[in-house]
Every structure is written in C-alpha cells, then in structure tokens.
Amino acid sequence: MNLKKAERILIIRFSSLGDILLTTPLLRVLKKKYPKLKIDYLIKSNFTDAIKFNPNLNQVFSWNGEKEFSEVINKLKQNNYDSVIDLQNNFKSRKVVRKIKVSSASYRKPNIKKFLLVKTKLNLLKEKRSIPQRYIDVVPNLELDGKGLELFLPNGIESKINSEKEIIGFAPGAFHFTKRWSLEYYEELGNQLTSEGFQIVIFGGKSDREICNKLQNKISNSINLSNDNLLFKTAMDMQKCKLIVCNDSGLMHTATAVGVPVVSIFGSTVREFGFAPFGVNNLVIENIGLSCRPCSHIGKANCKKKHFNCMMELTPQRVYKEIKDLMSEI
C-alpha cells in the first residue's frame, strides 16, 4: 500500500466501542503524515459517536441492517477510493473491499496465537503489542506518536457532577460475566474510599443499568450516572474524575480516550490480547498466577471451573492499595 499519491481512502471498523476508539491513533498519525489525504470511515450506526467529531476524518458512513449495508456499499463504490484499510477483517468487511475493487490492506488478527494461549496456555504473544500498534502496522512506514486515544466531544454538553470532593469513578459493567469484578468488592472498595472523603460516581451503559443501580444502593452517597449509551455525556462526566476503576470494557477505553487515569481489573482476559489501557497513567490488576487464565479472549457467561478465582482472589484491599499508589503518581 502506497499512500504518497493517494487522495481518498476508506477505513473499515464496524464495532465495538473500544475497538473503534483504539483506531484513533492511526487516524491521527495518517492525517499528520498525509495532511491532504481524505479519510473516510465505515462503521455500524450505533457506534458513530465514537468518531463523529474526529477532525482527522473526511466523512463517516454507517449502516444498520442488511438493506442499509447494501445501500452504503453502493455509495462507497462511487467515491473513487485509492485504497481501503480493513481493520475489521471479517466476512462483511471483506465484501466491502471486493466491491470497491481498489488496493487494500487488512489487519491480521492473531487468532491462532490467541487460540493457543486460551486452549493450551502456549504464549506466543509475550511482546504484548497494543491494538493501536497492531493497527499502525497495517500501513507501511507509520509509527505511533506517543499520544493516546481520542474522543472528540461536541459543544454544549455539561457535566452532571457537582461536587467539591475528589471524584473516583466506578465502571462496574462488562458485556461478559467473567470480565466483571464482584459487585460486593466494588461495594467494599467504594465505602472505604467514601469514608476517606472521596465522591464515588458510577458509570455504565444501557446493559449496565441494573448493576449500577444495585451498586448505588450499596455505596453511601454515591452518584449513579449510568444511561442509555449516551457516550458524550458519559465521557464529559468522566473527565471530572481523578481516576476510574473499571473492568476490561469499552468504558475503560472511553476513560482513556478523554485522558483519565484508570485502574483496570482483568479477569478471564489478559493484556497479551492487546486491549490494555492505552496512553494514560494506568494500572492493570490481574491474577497472573492462575493456571486457567485466560479462558477466553472475549469473556464468558460463567466460570467453567466454578471458582472464578481470576476475579475473586483480587480483593478490595489489593485494589485499594493499587489505587492509592496510582494516585500518589498523578
């Protein structure tokens, strides 16, 4: 792929929130190296807010459902792209590449290495290359610039947080059960921090509402700002936090994209998969001595071993110590 003479390219990444935010260093580096290059982006409609106001993009195309998918392909075919960068690399994205019929480069997912690590614990991912680095590697002669993820917010959004106390955010949700730290542990940690004068603010999306509601009832004077996936409002409120305690989730990447330090708790997944916090002060807490980790590269609905020690052995006392250590550095 040679972009020196390219005028317009298309980047494909359909989902999900974290994966899309992890593409933003590539967008920034591309635009800086080729300032005249027009960069378009193809994404699923429910994730467009993640890049909607990104100044490095020329145009965002989105779809939801098979009819819209076919319609958007027809629009893209008329745009005379010089190249396509396929960061999704699945059946649908490859269909788009075939239809556009120009030179392309695709992100090569390390599926075999992930499979071996999950199933046999043979670790061929010891270099722990981040997803932003792997995305950058798709385009020749590009390098990361030392900056983090980016989420650009529209004007007119105001934070709902009004507190004179130092604020610590909790994001207790994750799509899969084995990526969620215990609510009881969040409760104990939250009440300890509250007793020391911190304000606990709880964040979550639509699927996290029940978890967040339960946690609010258990942490004294906590503020519950979970909502129906209102990304901009969540991000604006996160910026008020001194740090955020979270799981391996999309909201972890949201926090890092607005420059907030994070303490992230990893259960069934590991940093080797590339999704550790990127570009901010952070700590990843994980049970590195557990022989059954990782049991999945995306998480599971339950612990097959029944003990769930990847999370249960990460006590509130340990996380509290890690939080205090991180806060001493920021």
Q: For 24-81, what is each residue's pLDDT tens digit?
A: 999 999 999 999 999 999 999 999 999 999 999 999 999 999 999 999 999 999 999 9
Query: Would you kindly state where each structural domain of the chain is located, as residue ranges?
Result: 8-136, 167-327
209 pLDDT more than 90:
yes
Looking at domain 167-327, its CATH superfamily turns out to be Glycogen Phosphorylase B; (3.40.50.2000)
Of 178, 173, 169, 185, the residue nearest 261 (C-alpha): 169
What's the CA gap between 229 and 215, in Å, rounded? Answer: 18
> If you average pLDDT over every residue of the chain, what do you get?
96
Percent of the chain at pLDDT > 70 equals 100
* 201 phi and psi angles, rounded to 5 deg: -120, 130
Q: Are 175 and 242 in contact (CB under 8 A)?
A: no
Q: 109, 126 in Cβ contact below 8 A?
A: no
CA distance 130 to 221: 37
pLDDT in tens, 1-30: 778 889 999 999 999 999 999 999 999 999
- Give me the helix-helix angle, 250-257 and 231-238, nearest 10°: 60
Task: State the pLDDT at residue 79.
Answer: 96
Is pLDDT at 164 greater than 90 in this prediction?
A: no
Burial of 32 (0-12, 13-18, 19+ CB in 10 A): exposed
Q: Exposed e or buried b for every residue in 216-245, given b needs 16+ CB within 10 A?
A: beebeebbbbbbebbbbbbbbbbebbbbbb
Task: Give the tens place of pLDDT for each residue, 254-312.
Answer: 999 999 999 999 999 999 999 999 999 999 999 998 999 999 999 999 999 999 999 99
Domain range 8-136, CATH architecture: 3-Layer(aba) Sandwich (3.40)
Q: What is the mean pLDDT of residues 218-224?
A: 96
Residue 160 has pLDDT above 90, yes or no: no
The model's confidence at residue 114, banded by pLDDT at 50, 70 and 90, is very high
